[in-house]
Amino acid sequence: MNTDDLITLLARQAPPVPRHAAARQVALALAAALPLSVAWLLVAYGLRPTLAAELSGLGMAWAKLLLPAAVALGGAVLVARLGRPGTRAGLAWLAVAVPVLLLWLLGARAWAEAPAGARDALLWGTTWRTCPWNILLLGLPVLAAALLALRALAPVRPVAAGAAAGALAGGTGAAVYALHCPELGAPFLAVWYVAGMALAVLAGALAGPRLLRW
């Protein structure tokens, strides 16, 4: 039997892949890792005392929570797509880019409307040194789970798949950290929250070629 005949025989005997298998893997990974990130937040940081009052209105507290969550959702879609060989990300990257763009627009508008003397406080806040790293740390359980999910799939572009896992992790880490973070300035979020999510994307992109090889 030559090689082509063997491949044909094996292909005929292969069971069909269940529908939505990739999406199911990603959902299971997130369900396992998200409680770890939340528990880490509660133990290491705690919820901010003013959270309930801030969420009772329609202000930046909601934008700080929902826009990173949208990035995480876009990252989850990308992980599911890039985990399947022959499937391109296509416009799914927009699901990650659009929430980031909205954060930048909110930040630019607030910066333009603020008096010159108030701009430094809006940009730097009081936690800019630690904010991006806290987002990365809180996203690490999700990053690890997403990479494990990808290893169970068949990604053919490990850098892009790792970056997608990082987007899922970074968005999740930022949304979880928003439950503690005292900063509400849109310029702060546009720079330092995006920086934290970008660190997770970079970490995923660097890990992809090492962990997602066939």
Closest CA to 67 of 112, 114, 123, 106: 106
C-alpha–C-alpha distance, residues 26 and 77, integer Å: 9
CB 107 within 8 A of CB 186: yes
* 3 inside domain: no
- For residue 75, give the 3-state DSSP assignment: helix
Number of domains in the chain: 1
* 10 inside domain: no
pLDDT of amino acid 2: 56
* 49 inside domain: yes
> In this model, does residue 162 exceed pLDDT 90?
yes
* 182 inside domain: yes
* 117 inside domain: yes
Range of the domain at 114: 40-211
Dump pLDDT digits (tens) for 69-97: 999 999 999 998 888 876 777 778 899 99
C-alpha–C-alpha distance, residues 128 and 86, integer Å: 41
C-alpha–C-alpha distance, residues 24 and 63, integer Å: 28
* 28 inside domain: no
Dump pLDDT digits (tens) for 23-58: 788 888 888 999 999 999 999 999 999 999 888 887
* 111 inside domain: yes
